Amino acid sequence: MKKVILLLLALLVLTSCGYKPSSKFSRDILGEKISTSVVISQTDPENTVLIKDAVDGAIVETLQASLTSRSHSDSHLVFSISAPNYTPIQYDQNGYVIAYRMKITLNIVRYTKGKQKSYIAKGTYDFSVTPNAVVTDQERFDAIKLSAAKAIDSFIAQLSSEGARK
């Protein structure tokens, strides 16, 4: 009998707490149908494709929203990327760089119901290299992709915060 009462009490507490996942708050701001576009960087056009893939993946996976054309969307997001910034963060005993930090800044403009709002999201990713080695294209692309994913997570957190306040 005590177990049944404790179970009912636990269910009552868990179901009445009002918990909502953060993706719910973000969807309240963006809507269910979202379109995206990325401004192509003239200095680094290869990275634009990586950003577009990361953005679309985050919208589908994190927000559980669907991607659609701009004419059918509730919100349209325009992303532009700043130039990727590499900073040495660790050196070996001979003074060679063995680790870098990639920093990406995304400028995001959200168009929803005729209104426009701008966001800035930053993401970093630390990666190591062999001493006195050149950073390969693959390492560079991976670092940009992963730091962009962190910047997109930061953007989604900003949306969730905005949605929770409303």
Domain containing residue 129: CATH number:
3.30.160.150
pTM value is: 0.78
Residue 142 to residue 84: CA distance in whole angstroms? 12
DSSP string, 61-110: HTS--EE--GGG-SEEEEEEEPPPEEEEEEE-TTS-EEEEEEEEEEEEEE
- pLDDT, tens digit (0-9, with 9 covering 90-100), for 44-102: 777 777 778 877 887 788 777 788 888 898 899 998 888 788 899 999 898 888 999 99
Range of the domain at 67: 2-165
**Residue 126: pLDDT band with limits 50, 70, 90:** very high
> How many domains would you assign to the chain?
1
